[in-house]
Amino acid sequence: MNTCFAMILALVMTWTAESKNSVVPSGDVPANTTAQYTNSYAKNQLTAGNTAVLTLSGLAGITINKIEIAMRSNKESGAGVITVAADEHTIASLAGTYKQWTGAFDNSQYRSLSVFDGECKDVSALAITVECTTSSLYIDRFTVTYTPAPARTVTLMLSNEVYATLEEQQSGAGVYLPSLEPYNELTFVGWAQSPFWTVYALPSYIPSGLYYPSSDIVLWSVWAYPRQVDTTYLADLQSGEYIYTNRENGRTLSGIPSDDGRMASVSFNMDDPDQVYAIEFLAPDTAMIRHKRTNTPIGYTGSKLAARETPWLVYHEDDQTLFYTTVAGKNYILWLNILNSGESAFYAGLLEATVGASPVGLRKPRPADDKPAYTCHPESPQAITTVHPDAQEQIIPVGIYELHICNGRKYIQLRQ
- CATH number of the domain that residue 293 is part of: 2.80.10.50
320 and 400 housed in the same domain: no
pLDDT at 12 over 50: yes
Predicted confidence (pLDDT) per residue in 84-138, tens digit? 999 999 999 999 999 999 999 999 999 999 999 999 999 999 999 999 999 999 9
Mean pLDDT (whole number) for 173-189: 92
Q: What is the CATH number of the domain that holds 109?
A: 2.60.120
Q: Residue 281 corresponds to which amino acid?
A: F
Are residue 308 and residue 404 in the same domain, yes or no? no
* Domain's final residue, options 125, 147, 169: 147
Q: Is residue 2 part of a domain?
A: no
If asked whether residues 349 and 407 sit together in one domain, one would say no
Identity of residue 354: T
Domain identity same for 127 and 188: no
Please indicate, yes or no, if residue 120 is contained in any of the structural domains: yes
How far is the CA of 363 from the CAs of 71, 141, 163, 236, 269, in angstroms?
68, 62, 40, 12, 11
Total number of domains constituting the chain: 4
Whether 235 maps to a domain, the answer reads no
| Contact predicate 190/207, CB 8 Å | yes
DSSP assignment letter at 10: P
From residue 333, alpha-carbon distances to 162, 183, 191, 314, 352 in Å are 58, 44, 48, 10, 6
Q: Residue 388 — pLDDT band, cuts 50, 70, 90?
A: very low
Is residue 111 a part of any domain in this protein?
Answer: yes
> Are 365 and 229 in contact, with CB atoms under 8 Å apart?
no
Same domain, 174 and 257: no
- Is residue 375 within 8 A of residue 382, CB to CB? The reply is no
Radius of gyration of the chain (CA): 32
Q: Is the pLDDT of residue 172 over 90?
A: no
- The verdict on 275 and 318 lying in the same domain is yes
Confidence of residue 412 (pLDDT cuts 50, 70, 90): low
Q: Which domain holds residue 277?
A: 240-363
**Is residue 244 domain-shared with residue 218, that is, in the same domain?**
no
| 25 shares its domain with 141 | yes
With a CB cutoff of 8 Å and minimum separation 6, the contacts of 235 are 318, 319
Segment 370-397 mean pLDDT: 66
Mean pLDDT in residue range 245-265: 95
Percentage of residues of the chain with pLDDT beyond 90: 74
Residue 295 in any domain: the answer is yes
Q: Are residues 116 and 78 in the same domain?
A: yes
- Residue burial 346-373, b: 16+ Cβ < 10 Å; e: rest: bbbbbeeeeeeebebbbbbbbeeebebb
Amino acid of residue 372: P
Same domain? For 18 and 134 the reply is yes
β-bridge mates for residue 14, sequence order: 26, 143
Query: Residues 242, 243, 248, 251: what is their CA dihedral angle, to the nearest 10 degrees?
Result: 170
* Buried-state track 393-412, b at ≥16 Cβ within 10 A, e below 16: ebbbbeeeebebeeeeeeee
Same domain, 21 and 136: yes
Cβ pair 197, 384 in contact under 8 A = yes
Least-confidence region, from 110-114, 146-150, 310-314: 146-150
Amino acid at site 346: F
* pTM for the full predicted model: 0.59
Q: pLDDT digit string (tens) for 280-294?
A: 999 999 999 999 999
Evaluate whether residue 375 is within a structural domain.
no
Residue 65 and residue 121 share a domain = yes
**Cβ distance 152 to 215 under 8 Å?**
yes
Q: How many residues does the chain have?
A: 416
Is 376 inside any structural domain? no
Distance CA 34, CA 16 (A): 14
Rounded CA gap, 29 and 172, in Å?
Answer: 10
